Structure 1
Amino acid sequence: MEKLSAFPSLAPDEFIEACEHVRRILPDSTLLVGDLPGLRITRRLAAALLVIEAEDDHEPVDVPNRESHEDDVDEEAIIKQPQDETLVTVYYDILLSPSYRVPVVYMTTSPPLPASQFFNLVVPLHFQDAVRGVGVIGALSMTVIVDSWINESC
């Protein structure tokens, strides 16, 4: 791969070349095609989830942190201890920002997680304090990614 012209501002062809390079290295990645070409990296990560189940409807509700929600929980609810580990699929979609010409990473999970569980899952423990120091939920911002932006290649 040749030297980039003006990193961090990338030309579209430089970005696509970088995505192709990463794709060759990471077996769990897929090139994306469409209006915004990019790369999708798919990882299965273990996450302990605390589930609260109401006695009357038996529909589980994920709660990110037991201590912060103890007062909010219905006294008739049954609190199940965290399952050993639940696998969560994290999709890292790396796209080139058309405005700033820099790579942008969109992360989504399946099943969807509350913001605090998402943060704990994707930010390594030894970086969490530094990331939290950047803002309200750290250097992560929440947005809605339009599915039509991302099309996996065949």
Structure 2
Amino acid sequence: MTITTTTHLNFRGDAREALAFYRSVFGGDLATVTYADAHAVTDPAEADQIMWGQVTSDAGFRVMAYDVPSHTRHEPGVLPVFVSVRGTDADELRGHWGRLAEGATVQVPLAEARWSPLYGMLTDRFGVTWVLDVEVAWNA
């Protein structure tokens, strides 16, 4: 298995525009999944916002972004970035999770999600927020 780490940017309604901008700067492919696409709508006004988005280029540029839903606290600049660890081997990700979770605050327990066979979020003892998940191919 291989894993990648990717900067994961957090926005409030601007993720689509930001990802399009980063694509215009670095080139590459843009893929997005809305809350509606993932059947994860909590506020109908946010159904078309980005739950998961990514720009990747052949040159190696990769950035992810999402729109923080209104029911979740968001203070721009306070928690602007997650470290996203994506992989294909659930057991390996569970191992990484177990070590990262020592002294951490679990935000979302590592478990099956509607959009991934395994997903979890925690803030480690140093204050860094990590998202671990099994990568799933989404059609753009």
Place the TM-score, normalised by the shorter chain, in its bin: 0.3 to 0.5
Structure whose residues are more often helix by fraction: 1
Q: Please identify the structure whose Cα radius of gyration is greater.
A: 1
Q: TM-score, normalised by structure 1?
A: 0.33
Structure whose residues are more often strand by fraction: 2
Q: TM-score, normalised by structure 2?
A: 0.36
